[in-house]
Structure 1
């Protein structure tokens, strides 16, 4: 738990440090308002002793005027403090969100396979909102009350040391419950945030797959499960609230109880003529300030505990290191222009989540520049994994992959990926216009280049039929477009990249005959003068490839042309027989 506090403090210092001027201004306003508030006690003493007791209208007018001056100064100082502190809170949280997002987007994909994306999203939103509240408000309140507490105690001693000693007797009694309940609140705050993240993750998962949920009439089960998740979050929150409520109640009881005893003792002294009524009024005022400050601090502690938990979760994200990084020394450059030759040398690979299961087993494969190679084989053979390795989403556990003779681990990942254009089975489209999605890999592409790529991909006609043409905004994941339309936009996006190596992952497998026909017409232009790797289950789409590699259980089972494999590779012959009925008709 101390580690959480250290992380929270260090995170706040790192992000607040660039805004020293605003921080100094806020601190100055904070000290100023605290000083003015404490001065009000002396104003009350003068008001009673010189205004009320003397019966002088002139003195009363002077003290009341002084009182209003103090109030005016307090209002100005409070405005400056609130504005600057709130500005710092919003600015810092905006910086944290940007840094966390920038860090996450560069992490290796394996991280997101072992961590729920929606939970990470919750950290980026919910946890940073907690920090915003704390940095932009709670810390200011805590510091203000701390100054008021210290200043109030000093003025209590200055005003009357005897009465102050009565109040000080209650301090150890107040500190004890703060320490006891504070530990419990801190632990429960972290648990509460975890449960809230679970709620957000579950909502995102269900709403993201709402069609499947409703198609299977799974709403009752999901409602019940969500109810359990919400109740778990509520149970933890209830325990946290109960501990904080006990803390606040005990502190108020002890502090105000001490103030009550002090008023009784002070009243006896006023009656005996040992102190003036103004001194007692000022002392009561300072006592209330001290009591209120302690009570507020005890309440703020709970918020600070929540912030510590939120900061710890954010720091965990920021400290997560990507396993895919540029080489520590100067990255090796690729030859120019890139030809697109690919060599796999004794490549072995197992996913981090299943280190004992090799998905690729000692594979050797040479793909000359400009050649079209089809990858076929049963599901789980390792075809898509090869694409992940080529794009360096993962590194092999043994062996190496070379592009134009350069080991991909010696390249900057960004330079390597500029060599590839990917068209996946389920193309990813993003919220934005059609044109934005086509120029996704080349943001500087002109409108003319976007339209030219769309024409080659046989997408121009349907795009112009959309309400705003190329400026039509797409819904999430391309909502509103058919599978064939999405795929043609994805092909246009790959075309505009003009990359030397093309990766086609089941680009036509889920399409109707007409859409497949249009895309098959677009592919030759896309594949021309490029090294092309095609994953396909339907052999009819790849039988005319330069070569076909047959994969099975992570091993290269055979390689050759369609006709060669029909006669030399039993696995391919069996696949051909299943799809073409008889190998002879293939």
Structure 2
């Protein structure tokens, strides 16, 4: 195994990016080659200087030429290093940009199975280590490798026998160094994996820090992190030991070589078989080889560590992406046949297709089925509610509409088009999604609201804020819309963050808005305000809401009841209270609490309803 093979860039993303920088790399190679020539000429000029001085000839021109070569060598080496370093920085920049893009567009089902901290470590830590390998290490290997090769050739031209002695002594040390390099790469790969594990667990703890504190688990988590840190230390120590062996192993060979050359060379000079000038030049070349040879092997060792990072980066580059739409001309999904009627839960809708259709959809997480033969429609206007016991598949329905996951069978249709045949931009631009956990981010309130519509006008922002019931909140903030929030929207209450996310979804002006427990963190007054907003919003587009509060569900135009991963019933609140036992049980518990505040014979929305005697507790 040679230095060239040891430093070969693995095939993949990094190799492709390296090819993209071939102009800078080629320029660096040319300048480095010129610098090497300048370096290698110097000992020959010194030999001629010695010979000229011995013959009492003028040496001023030779001295001046040597000075020029010294300066040229420095300039060429510095410029070469800048070009190679710039190419390396470009490679790392492009790697980070492309990896970030691939992670952002990754298949969510696959990404959820990965440790997020390890993904972060690969994007930040491994690319940083890769930068060191691809800039400093490769530059040193290239420049000093050329000096070693050129110096060896010049030494062969002076005296082959002395060169053989040198190579023999260095050969043993080189073989040992290459063996250390192989072990170093393996140890570095383990160390990077251990570092990724530590980063992943640290991120897990930080993301749930309030829970950790509330559970009094700081000590246990500290011990767990300490154990992972110990693993990183142990693998890091192995890397340190192997890295530290490079210089001693190589220095022994160099010292033995130098001693042998000096002894044999001086003996040959004494016998007259080797001239003093040639011996001086040979010795200079040997001294010229000492530092570059050490740097080459040290750089190989550093690169072996970086190569482990390159491997992890290339693995991340292979993360599965969200599928693109099928090529033009591919078969479209089959439409329902005449006479089949609408899917279960079908309804008359105004003009064209329903906003959303589920056609015999089945889905599961691994071997655990969640939805089975689910079919229903969502009209283009109005509020449609999804209800059911915990685990019935309500949130999964939303995730399938957003194509975060793909159904195992059947199809999800948006405005008459199977979303499997659409690009993410095509269908997500038509769907606004408000998550259950109210995902707000660091930045200003304005930046959070316009996140999905960065070109929105002030009038559009004001309308979305008012529709979401956020107007009074914004007015009370110290800097209004320009008030800065912390991570996860720190600075707003849970209910305020919920309304902010509703405003963000509204600003997209979508055809469908998905609200996952949108009223979960609201007090009664805020919930009433949001219900009023939903009524106004539902006159303009389809609103699909998951809600446990019957006060929200009761006002829905249509309610889809999920049970055991299937559609159990579809209807209005009054219809389902009369006709479906499960819905009646779901409503009963909340009606019992609501009865304290509502008049007899009224539901919690204030609408009169006839309830079966067995339907409501209390």
TM-score, length-normalised on structure 2? 0.87
| 2:17 paired residue number | 15
| 1:86-137 residue CA offsets vs partner (Å, 9 max, x unmatched) | 1111111111111111111111211221111221111111111122112222
How far 1:213 moved relative to its partner?
2.4
How far 1:493 moved relative to its partner?
1.2
Say yes or no: does 1:28 pair with 2:30.
Answer: yes
| 1:487-512 residue CA offsets vs partner (Å, 9 max, x unmatched) | 22112112211111111100011223
Q: Distance in 2 between matches of 1:130 and 1:493?
A: 38
Say yes or no: does 1:470 pair with 2:481.
Answer: yes
| 2:214 paired residue number | 215
How far 1:326 moved relative to its partner?
1.4
* 8 Å CA contact 1:26, 1:84 repeated in 2: yes
The structure-2 alpha-carbon separation of the partners of 1:11 and 1:37, relative to structure 1 and needing over 3 Å to count, comes to farther
Stretches of structure 2 that go unaligned for 5 or more consecutive residues are 336-349, 593-613
| 2:398 paired residue number | 387
Q: Distance in 1 between matches of 2:320 and 2:111?
A: 13
| 1:572 paired residue number | 583
| 1:326-356 residue CA offsets vs partner (Å, 9 max, x unmatched) | 123368799x9986532212211012xxx22
Say yes or no: does 1:433 pair with 2:444.
Answer: yes
Q: Distance in 2 between matches of 1:578 and 1:452?
A: 36
Say yes or no: does 1:229 pair with 2:240.
Answer: no
How far 1:457 moved relative to its partner?
2.0
Q: Distance in 1 between matches of 2:456 and 2:449?
A: 9
| 1:527 paired residue number | 538
| 1:45 paired residue number | 47
Q: Distance in 2 between matches of 1:99 and 1:384?
A: 31
Q: Distance in 2 between matches of 1:111 and 1:345?
A: 25
| 2:597 paired residue number | none
* 8 Å CA contact 1:49, 1:276 repeated in 2: no
| 1:268-323 residue CA offsets vs partner (Å, 9 max, x unmatched) | 22333433444333222211333433332222222222232222222222223325
Aligned length: 579
| 2:371 paired residue number | 360
Q: Distance in 2 between matches of 1:10 and 1:36?
A: 36
SS of the aligned residue for 1:393 comes to coil
Q: Distance in 2 between matches of 1:468 and 1:570?
A: 51
Q: Distance in 2 between matches of 1:6 and 1:380?
A: 52
**What's the Cα RMSD here?**
2.7
What are the within-5 Å matches in structure 2 for residues 387-406 of structure 1? 387-406=398-417
SS of the aligned residue for 2:359 comes to strand
Name which of structure 1's ranges 210-219 and 6-15 shifts more when overlaid on structure 2: 6-15
SS of the aligned residue for 2:534 comes to helix
How far 1:177 moved relative to its partner?
1.4
Q: Identify the structure with the greater helix proportion.
A: 1
| 1:423 paired residue number | 434
Q: Distance in 1 between matches of 2:220 and 2:182?
A: 37
SS of the aligned residue for 1:8 comes to coil
* The one of 556, 570, 592 aligned to 1:545: 556
TM-score, length-normalised on structure 1? 0.92
| 2:344 paired residue number | none
| 1:504 paired residue number | 515
The structure-2 alpha-carbon separation of the partners of 1:528 and 1:229, relative to structure 1 and needing over 3 Å to count, comes to same
* 8 Å CA contact 2:12, 2:314 repeated in 1: no
Q: Distance in 2 between matches of 1:437 and 1:340?
A: 30
Name which of structure 1's ranges 507-516 and 486-495 shifts more when overlaid on structure 2: 507-516
How far 1:199 moved relative to its partner?
2.2
Stretches of structure 1 that go unaligned for 5 or more consecutive residues are none
| 2:608 paired residue number | none
Q: Distance in 2 between matches of 1:326 and 1:5?
A: 40
* 8 Å CA contact 1:425, 1:510 repeated in 2: no
Say yes or no: does 1:558 pair with 2:569.
Answer: yes
Q: Distance in 2 between matches of 1:262 and 1:6?
A: 33
Q: Distance in 1 between matches of 2:414 and 2:14?
A: 44
